[in-house]
Amino acid sequence: MAFSAACVALVVASVLTLCQGQDTTKTPGAFGSSVVDAVVERIRSRCVFSEDRLFLRRVAHVASRDGADSATFRPNFNGGIWKINETMFDATKACSNVYIRSACNNISSSFGIDWPAVTWSDLRKPLYSGLAAALSTLLTLRSRTMPGSITEQADLWVKMYGEQRETFINNADLATTVECKNKMDLLFLLDSSGSVSSSDFQLMLNFSADVMDAMPISTESVLVAGISFSTSVQLHFDFNDYSTKAQARSKMLNINKVIGRTYTYLGLNRAATTLYSSSAGARSDAKKVVVLVTDGRSSSFSATNQSAQALKDLGTTVFAVGVGGYRLNELQAAASDPICSHVLTLISFDHIQAILDGIQKSTCEANIKVTKTKVVNGTLTNTTTTTPAVAKVPGNNETIEASTSCGILDIYVSTADPKPGPAVHDDRYRAMPDAPATLTVTETLPSGTTLFISVVGTRLPASAAALRNCSNYTWTLGMVPKKNITVICEENGVRRPCTNSDVVKAKLCDKRVDSDYPVDNPCTTSNLEKGLLRHPYPYDPTKFLQCDMKGNNYITLCPRGVTFNTRTCECGFTSPGGASTPQANEQDRNSTNSTSYTPVPPVSSNVGNPCTVRALAKNEFYHTHSSDEAKFIQCDEWGKAWVKACAPSTIWSQSHYTCIKKAKASTRTSGPTVTCSASDNYLPDPCDHHAYYRCVHQQATRVVCHPASLFFNPVAKVCGFVDSNAAAIPASCNASG
């Protein structure tokens, strides 16, 4: 049975997915930045520890380099990525403690984990280690507010872990670098009503200005606008009303308080108008984010809730920041889902820094909403970029599709986790040039179900793009009409409808085989002679083309979670100093029971590499070592030279292509003379069976076998491995050695 070529292409393009989800946060020994990010996001979004101010993320990096430190999963220590010792862990099991009672309840309801029944060994699972760290932090804080600055968090680190303060200060910032890589229209909506004090209003202005300071303000990145509301609404500046960050900050700080009633719904309605108005400078291809700063005491809760929902339905992400004596239920009603990740509290000026990093990270990573009329577009850069999106499962006649013209997209989908990725997802799809990915999960979920989507895009390397003759490094994610695809099976030349068994046997959920992707062979003689043996694989950044010295190319897979670096021609990225940059991968580390070995040393530069293209073309894989007769050089098929040692008491013989026994050196000072005869031109040396005399014109010249370990055969007249000369060495010979 076979599929027709046309039908196969259609089916694969539509079902290019790994047909099951993944959750490595519950896998013992899993590690890596993607795993840590997934754990922290789960803890925050499930309200276990929603306002940790990036502390958990920083601790994971400082304590264990996200689990990559070799001591993380050592024998007899079960603290996991967050390195929770047994004493710290035992304290967290007292869930009746007032400081962690609510968190324990959320762990039970959200994760189905009965925390008092958890054992220390469970902390080898990243999620459990992160939960233990969250509970331990809450116990240490007691009722105090979580600090936000690294220096203040360093004091908490010392109190919890008893380690050096400088260790945290010097390393924590490396874990939370935030880049706003996607366009964002960010609108600050400020409550200036009578229920907000003048000091709290000034707090709002300072907070908003500081958030703006942390953003890359430009037409290609983040643009900001400011609105205040009370009985009426005032637009103080829109996305067009400034040309520099300093001007925008000045406009924010000069907003005057207008006392009146709290008509929050009017402010939300005006925000919707401004965010989606091109005349106000809003961009159609930018994500829309509102930061609502209020005490949550509106004049009409129902009107506020209705307007907030309408704003969110347009595709806007709403963060609700509470000030003063805020009303939590109204903040929660206004905020986007998951609520715990989108509601923050601002109590005093001292707390601005505490939430600044968190709000910057959250807004920059806010989801872009995909709708019937809103298509998400992106441009692929030289580095891997991640774009978070959210969509509702469309109706029966539509689906969601991702496509790219000159790159590769990995699309991760989840119905529960707001930031799906390699570590946690329900479904994963891959889109490539000429092979868009259709999110088939939409066919199994009820219409209207929320889908969280992460699009991880990688630009094809220049050489791979040249092979495809493409230069438009863009991608799209949007809702499209469902394709009416028919799969036809062909068996023994006869076409017929496919059965369920046919589809299963065809493994349509597998990735397309590499033979379906034509690749020009880069292993030319010119490249081989230049030593260019590795080349990017055009269709998958996790693979590369490896050349052997005979011009064959092999599609080679990088370790799991690592991509091919076209700059270094290695899997992963290496800095100029030689240290590897940590990757978002979950490779299996060497266990304590693994067998150790010592690699064979490669040839040094002073010996030289004889493994040239021409030598390997002649099948010359073994060569003499230029400075040590007890060693030889072996070539591999990739043109690399390796130094090998002969067995003891043997030396390398190039003529025999093997190591042979080394003969003792002999020095003759006296002994019988040799007389040439007309009938025999090769005579044995009576004093040395490793030598002979060659007669030319009755003149005898002594010759030592080469190598010197060979014996002269007086019958065959050649040097060989066996001493076939039965004659004893005369006593008159004076030999030593």
pLDDT of residue 697: 66
pLDDT > 90 in the chain, percent: 37
The pLDDT confidence band at residue 18, using thresholds 50, 70 and 90, is very low
pLDDT of residue 237: 96
pLDDT of residue 238: 94
Can you read off the two tokens belonging to residue 176? 């939370």
How do strand 316-323 and strand 343-346 relate by DSSP bridges?
parallel
Residue spans of beta strands (DSSP E) within 591-685: 622-624, 631-635, 641-645, 650-653, 658-661, 682-684
User: Which range among 74-83, 616-625, 664-673 has the greatest average pLDDT?
Assistant: 74-83
Asked if the model's pLDDT at residue 139 lies above 90, the reply is yes
pLDDT of residue 672: 67
3-state secondary structure of 445: coil
pLDDT of residue 232: 94
Question: What is the mean pLDDT of the segment spanning 584-589?
Answer: 32
pLDDT of residue 60: 96
Select from 116, 85, 87, 88 the least CA-distant residue to 103.
116
User: Which range among 427-436, 484-493, 585-594, 638-647 has the greatest average pLDDT?
Assistant: 427-436
* pLDDT digits 0-9 by tens, 442-480: 778 888 899 999 999 988 877 778 877 888 889 999 999
Can you read off the two tokens belonging to residue 604? 């040094």
The pLDDT confidence band at residue 350, using thresholds 50, 70 and 90, is low
pLDDT of residue 433: 86
Q: Among 112-116, 391-395, 400-404, 576-580, whose mean pLDDT is lowest?
A: 576-580
- Classify 663-737 by CATH class: mainly beta
Contact of 711 with 721, CB cutoff 8 Å: yes
Kindly tell me the burial class for residue 397, based on how many C-beta atoms sit within 10 Å of its own C-beta (0-12, 13-18, 19 or more).
exposed
* pLDDT digits 0-9 by tens, 270-305: 999 999 999 999 998 889 999 999 988 898 999 999
* pLDDT digits 0-9 by tens, 63-99: 999 998 888 999 999 999 999 999 999 999 999 999 9
The pLDDT confidence band at residue 9, using thresholds 50, 70 and 90, is very low
- Classify 184-364 by CATH class: alpha beta
pLDDT of residue 16: 42
Contact of 418 with 342, CB cutoff 8 Å: no
pLDDT of residue 587: 32
Q: Among 168-177, 349-358, 366-375, 647-656, whose mean pLDDT is lowest?
A: 349-358
Asked if the model's pLDDT at residue 180 lies above 80, the reply is no
pTM of the model: 0.63
Buried b (16+ CB within 10 A) or exposed e, 628-660: ebebbbebeeebebebeebeeebbbbeeeeebb
The pLDDT confidence band at residue 359, using thresholds 50, 70 and 90, is confident
pLDDT of residue 247: 95
Count CB atoms within 10 A of the CB of residue 560: 13
Asked if the model's pLDDT at residue 666 lies above 60, the reply is no
Contact of 150 with 335, CB cutoff 8 Å: no
Between 8 and 704, residue with greater pLDDT: 704
Select from 633, 689, 687 the least CA-distant residue to 663.
689
Q: Among 453-462, 656-665, 692-701, whose mean pLDDT is lowest?
A: 656-665
Question: What is the mean pLDDT of the segment spanning 227-252?
Answer: 94
Contact of 212 with 206, CB cutoff 8 Å: no
Phi and psi (nearest 5°) for 91? -65, -30
pLDDT of residue 73: 93
Cα–Cα distance, 454 to 425 (Å, whole number): 9
Beta bridge mates, 480: 399
Put the strands of the sheet holding 17-18 in their side by side order. Answer: 17-18, 427-431, 407-414, 450-459, 385-392, 368-370
User: Which range among 373-377, 401-405, 574-578, 622-626 has the greatest average pLDDT?
Assistant: 401-405
One-letter amino acid for residue 575 of the chain: S
pLDDT of residue 671: 58
Question: What is the mean pLDDT of the segment spanning 574-583?
Answer: 32
pLDDT of residue 512: 37
Select from 675, 692, 676, 694 the least CA-distant residue to 684.
692
Cα–Cα distance, 206 to 352 (Å, whole number): 8
State the fold for domain 2-20+369-490: Jelly Rolls (2.60.120)
pLDDT of residue 340: 87
pLDDT of residue 555: 87
Q: How many helices (H) and strands (E) does the chain have?
A: 18, 36
Asked if the model's pLDDT at residue 581 lies above 50, the reply is no
- Answer whether the bond into residue 147 is a cis peptide, omega within 30°: no
Can you read off the two tokens belonging to residue 92? 């967290």
Kindly tell me the burial class for residue 545, based on how many C-beta atoms sit within 10 Å of its own C-beta (0-12, 13-18, 19 or more).
buried
DSSP state string for 139-150: HHHTTSPPP-SH
Phi and psi (nearest 5°) for 384? -70, 130
Q: For the chain, what is the mean pLDDT?
A: 82
Give kind and range of the element (H or E) at residue 408: strand 407-414
pLDDT of residue 588: 32
Select from 251, 327, 243, 239 the least CA-distant residue to 278.
239
What is the C-alpha R_g of the chain?
36
DSSP state string for 663-678: PPP---SS------BT
Contact of 408 with 539, CB cutoff 8 Å: yes
* pLDDT digits 0-9 by tens, 490-537: 777 787 777 766 655 554 433 333 444 556 788 888 888 777 888 888
pLDDT of residue 585: 34
The pLDDT confidence band at residue 118, using thresholds 50, 70 and 90, is very high
DSSP state string for 532-590: --EEE-TT-TTEEEEE-TTS-EEEEEPSTT--EETTTTEES-B-TTSPBPP-S--PPPP
Cα distances from 109 to residues 40, 47, 118, 550, in angstroms, run 17, 11, 15, 61
pLDDT of residue 397: 84
Q: Where are the domains of the chain?
A: 2-20+369-490, 31-175, 184-364, 525-571, 613-661, 663-737
